Structure 1
Amino acid sequence: MKRIYIVAFLMLLCTMADAQIMAKLKEIGMENIRCVQTPETTTVAFENNVYRGTYTGIGKAVTACLDGIPGGNLQMVVLENRIPRLYIDMPDSLVHAYKKGDIGLAQVYQRMRISVDTDNAMKVLEKSEKPENTSAWKVDVVIYPDLFLENNTFDELYTYAINLNPAVEMALWKGAKATAQVILPIATNLTGEMKRVRPGIITISQDVRLKHNLFGRLTVGNFTDNRIGAQLAIKYRTDNGRAEVGAQMGVTGFSAVTADEGWYIGTKMRVNASVTASYYEPHTNLQFDLSANRYVFGDYGIRGDCTRHFGEYAIGLFGIYTSGEINGGFHFAIPLPGKKWNRKGFFRVKPADYFAWTYSMVAHGKYIDEQMGKSYYTRPDENRSGGFYQPDYIRYFLIKEAKKAQSKSIK
C-alpha cells in the first residue's frame, strides 16, 4: 500500500511540475509547447516566434525551464514550424548546481549539450498531450524592406528601386507554411515592371524531418527574380551542426506583370540544380559554403561564400565562376528594430526581423546579357542570420550575452 501512495505522490509531483514548466514557457510567449515528465527527467519542446534571433529565444526558454523544474535531468527540443531543429540536454547535477546558486547562466550554457540529433527526445515526446499554444493558423503580416541597386548604365551612376513588400504568412499543419506577398514600389529610376505593384513571393511550402538529421523542403509558387514553379531541397547535418551537405532542384517558368497582359506566366520551363557543402568554424564564427550549380538559364558554375557572424549580424563575401565568367560581391543581414513581438490572438503585424542585401560586382557585359549565375529565393525571410540553428554559434553568443548581463548587474 505504501508503494502505491509513493507512486501516486510522485505522479502528482510530475503533473504539477509539468504544468509549471508549460506555464513558464507560455508566459514568455513560446508556442507548440509539449512536455513529458518522469521523476528523473523532464523533456520539453517549444517554438520561438516572439524573440528575434535563435539564441535569444533559446536563452529565454532555458531560463524559464530552469525556473520551473523542481530538479532532475532536463531535455529540450527546439522547434521551427513544429519541425525539431535542436536538442539541448542538461543533467541533474547541472540543474541542481544552478538552482542552488553555485553557478550562473553562463556556466549552464557552457556545460549543457547542444546537438542536431533530436530523434530520442522526440520519441519521448510522442507520449505527450497535444501541443499547447499552437502556432497553427495564426497570421502574421510582415513588412519587408527591399532595395535594388545596380551600376549597369553609362548615363546614370546607379539604377535603383526601393520597395516595401508586405507578406501575409501563416503556419498551416506541421511543417507547412503559406506566404502571400505584394511588392509596393516606393522610389525608382527604372521603368516597366519595377514601377508597378506586383506579386512577390506567393508560395506553399512543406518541411519534413527524417531520421538521422535529414531535412527536406518542397516549395511551390511564385518566387523572386521572375520565376514561378517548384523547388525541392534536401540536406544532412552532422550532430554538432558544423558540417552540412545538401542538394536542391527547381523547375520554373517566367513570371512578370506586364502593361499589356497583366500577370504573365510563360510556358517554357527551365531546370536549375545545385549541390552544396557548408562548414562552420566555431573559434572564429566563420561559415564557409561551396556549391556546384546549374543556374536558371543553363550555365554551369561554382560559388563560394565566406560569412562572419557577429551575434545577429552576418556579413560575407562571395565569388562565382560560371561558363568562363567571374563575378563576386558581398552580402549582409542586419537586425531591424524590435527584439520582441508578442502575439495577441491569431493576428500580428510586425516588421521583418532582418534586412538582407546582396551586391554583385559585375553588372554589365556577357555575364548580364546572357543572364549567367541566375538563381532565386523561395522565402521572403531568406538570410544568413534568421533561423540559424548552429549549436556552436548559439552557445557562443548565449555565453557572451550572459556574461554581459552579469557584468551589468555587478555595476
Structure 2
Amino acid sequence: MNALNRKYIGLLLLVLLVFSPMKAQNYRTGQVDIFCGAELNYRDIFHNKAYEFLINLTPGIKWYMGKGWQAAAQAYVPVYNDYGDYYKRVRLNMAVLSKETYWKDRWFLKASGGLFGDERYGLDLKGMYIVNDWLALEAQAGWTGFCSMANGWRASTPERWTALAGADVYLNRYDTQFRLRGGRYVYKDYGVQLEILKHFKHCTVTVYGEYSDLWGKNGGFKFVMMIPPYKRKYRKVNVRPASNFRFTNNFMAYPYSNLMYTTDPEENEREGWFDREAFQWGVNRKTQDFTDKTKQP
C-alpha cells in the first residue's frame, strides 16, 4: 500500500468518525474532570543496591465535548527520583484529542491524535467487534514518532507504524478473561502476548506471558485497583483522584519488549478502550466501579 492510498484510507476513517452518532457520555457533555494520581517505577539491575525508584505525581484533565469527542492532558511531577537527570523535570506527558463511536452495539471505533504515553506522538485507531457474550475481536493501528520533553524538546518525524490484532474470551461465570494479541510494536519488534485477567470488585489481577523476536520470552503480572470514592457527584467541573492505580511487574526487566503506547491518561486493562456505558461486554456488564449520584435512574 503506497503513501497516497494510506492517506485516502485515513481521511475516510476520519469522515466516518466525525459524522457518526455517539449516544454514550451525552449526559456528561461539557463537563471537565481535573484529577491526580501517582506512578511508581522501580528497577533492581544494580549490584550495590536493592532497588532504585522513580515516583511521579500525574495530574491530568479531561473535557467531555459531546458526541464521543474528548480532550485530555496529563503531566509528570517527579517527587522521588533515583533514575537520573533525564527524569527530573516537570513535563507534559500526554495531550490527546479523541473521537469514539459505535454501530449497533457491536462495532466500536476510537480515533486519537496528539502526544501519547511512552514519548510517542501521532495518530492511533482502535477497534473492537463483539461476536457474542463471551468472544470479542480487537485491533489497533498507529502512526507515530518520538517526542520527549524530559531533557529539552526532542522529536522525530512520524514514520513508525504499529499494528496489533487479537481476541478476548470472557468466562462470565468466573469473571475471568483471556486475551491473546500480537503484531508489530513500538520498537519494531514483532511479538505475541497472552494475558489471563481475574476481575474482582474494583480490582483486576493479571498474569501474562509473551514472546518478542528481539527480546525473547518474558512474563509477569499486573494489577489495576480502582480508587474510591465509588459514588460521585458530577458537576460542570469535577476535582477527583485518578480513576485507578495501575502496576506492572516485568520478570526479565525488558522495558521495550512488546511495548505499546497509551492514548488516555487513565487507560487500563480493566476498563478497556471505550466508554463503559456503551461497551457492554465482559467486566463492563457487572456493577460499575463509579456511579453518578446526581444522575436520574
Q: State if a TM-score over 0.5 links the two structures.
A: yes
Tell me what 2:149 maps to. 257
Letter of the 1:151 partner, please give it.
D
Identical residues among aligned pairs (%): 29
Superposition CA RMSD, Å: 2.3
Deviation at 1:391, TM superposition (A): 4.9
- Residues in 1 aligned to 2:118 and 2:188: alpha-carbon distance in whole angstroms: 16
- Residues in 2 aligned to 1:82 and 1:343: alpha-carbon distance in whole angstroms: 20
Letter of the 2:265 partner, please give it.
P
* Deviation readout 1:153-206 (Å, 9 max, x if unpaired): 333322221111111100113011000111111111111231110111210011
Deviation at 1:334, TM superposition (A): 1.0
Deviation at 1:267, TM superposition (A): 2.0
- Equivalent position SS for 2:141: strand
Deviation at 1:211, TM superposition (A): 3.4
- Residues in 1 aligned to 2:59 and 2:154: alpha-carbon distance in whole angstroms: 22
Question: Does the C-alpha gap of structure 1 residues 199 and 139 become closer, same or farther in structure 2, counting only changes over 3 Å?
Answer: same
Consecutive unaligned residues in structure 1, runs of 5 or more: 1-80, 86-130, 399-411
* Deviation readout 1:81-105 (Å, 9 max, x if unpaired): 95449xxxxxxxxxxxxxxxxxxxx
Tell me what 1:209 maps to. 102
Tell me what 2:192 maps to. 302
- Equivalent position SS for 1:172: strand
Tell me what 1:267 maps to. 157
Letter of the 2:268 partner, please give it.
N
Q: Find the partner of 1:164 among 57, 64, 71.
A: 57
Q: Find the partner of 1:335 among 194, 218, 226.
A: 226
- Residues in 1 aligned to 2:243 and 2:144: alpha-carbon distance in whole angstroms: 28
Q: Which has the higher contact order (CA 8 A, sep 6+)?
A: 2
- Residues in 2 aligned to 1:162 and 1:392: alpha-carbon distance in whole angstroms: 32
| 2:37 is aligned with 1:147 | no
Deviation at 1:280, TM superposition (A): 0.3
- Equivalent position SS for 2:230: coil
Give the TM-score of the pair, scaled to structure 1: 0.60
- Residues in 2 aligned to 1:393 and 1:359: alpha-carbon distance in whole angstroms: 23
Question: Does the C-alpha gap of structure 1 residues 313 and 392 become closer, same or farther in structure 2, counting only changes over 3 Å?
Answer: same
Alignment of 1:85-104 (within 5 A): none
- Residues in 1 aligned to 2:199 and 2:286: alpha-carbon distance in whole angstroms: 11
Give the TM-score of the pair, scaled to structure 2: 0.81
Tell me what 2:292 maps to. none
- Equivalent position SS for 2:170: strand
Letter of the 1:328 partner, please give it.
G
* Deviation readout 1:129-164 (Å, 9 max, x if unpaired): xx7xx4222111011221112223333322221111
Q: Find the partner of 1:326 among 192, 217, 237.
A: 217
| 2:247 is aligned with 1:383 | no
Deviation at 1:231, TM superposition (A): 0.6
Structure that is richer in strand per residue: 2
Letter of the 1:244 partner, please give it.
A
- Residues in 2 aligned to 1:204 and 1:396: alpha-carbon distance in whole angstroms: 29
Question: Does the C-alpha gap of structure 1 residues 353 and 268 become closer, same or farther in structure 2, counting only changes over 3 Å?
Answer: closer
Q: Find the partner of 1:136 among 17, 23, 29.
A: 29
Alignment of 1:13-92 (within 5 A): 83-84=23-24
Consecutive unaligned residues in structure 2, runs of 5 or more: 1-20, 289-297
Question: Does the C-alpha gap of structure 1 residues 195 and 290 become closer, same or farther in structure 2, counting only changes over 3 Å?
Answer: same
| 2:126 is aligned with 1:236 | no
Contact 1:83 1:207 in 2 (8 A): no
* Deviation readout 1:266-313 (Å, 9 max, x if unpaired): 225211110010010012111000001211121111000000011121
- Residues in 2 aligned to 1:224 and 1:394: alpha-carbon distance in whole angstroms: 24
Contact 1:291 1:302 in 2 (8 A): yes
Structure that is richer in helix per residue: 1
